[in-house]
Amino acid sequence: GAGVSQSPSNKVTEKGKDVELRCDPISGHTALYWYRQSLGQGLEFLIYFQGNSAPDKSGLPSDRFSAERTGGSVSTLTIQRTQQEDSAVYLCASSQRLTDYEQYFGPGTRLTVT
């Protein structure tokens, strides 16, 4: 079946602009996670959603970052007033239930802030 998909695959933006990154989880997966992978910081957790529960936002690095998940499926990560240090690969993952151990990762969106 289809895996986790993310769009766009690459995004180049100017400093100060807002960007939206999209994640389509595996159908039927109730848990969705965002991570970012950067040269300086490695792989970092950002936020996760489980069903209709309030998301765990504890990994978001600043209030410029926000995410939402509509209808328990698609998620959008928004970065406002982008900075050069936001340049990274943003990864989305999903799991069937929050109790499942395995997270299925998408291919990522490479964000470059110039």
Partner 1 sequence: GNSVTQMEGPVTLSEEAFLTINCTYTATGYPSLFWYVQYPGEGLQLLLKATKADDKGSNKGFEATYRKETTSFHLEKGSVQVSDSAVYFCALERRDTGRRALTFGSGTRLQVQP
Q: Does 102 bind partner 1 (CB under 8 A)?
A: yes
Closest CB to partner 1 among residues 63, 102 = 102
Closest CB to partner 1 among residues 89, 113 = 89
Q: Which stretch binds partner 1 (CB under 8 A): 10-18, 22-30, 54-62, 74-82?
A: 54-62
DSSP string, the chain: ----EEE-SEEEE-TT--EEEEEEPPTT--EEEEEEEETTTEEEEEEEEETTSPPB-TT--STTEEEEESTTS-EEEEESS--GGG-EEEEEEEESSTT-S--EE---EEEEE-
Residues 26-45 that bind partner 1 (CB under 8 A): 31, 33, 35, 42-45
Q: Does 103 bind partner 1 (CB under 8 A)?
A: yes
Tokens, residue 63: 């209030």
Closest CB to partner 1 among residues 4, 79 = 4
Site residues, partner 1 (CB under 8 A): 3-4, 31, 33, 35, 42-45, 48, 50, 56, 58-59, 91, 93, 95, 98, 101-108
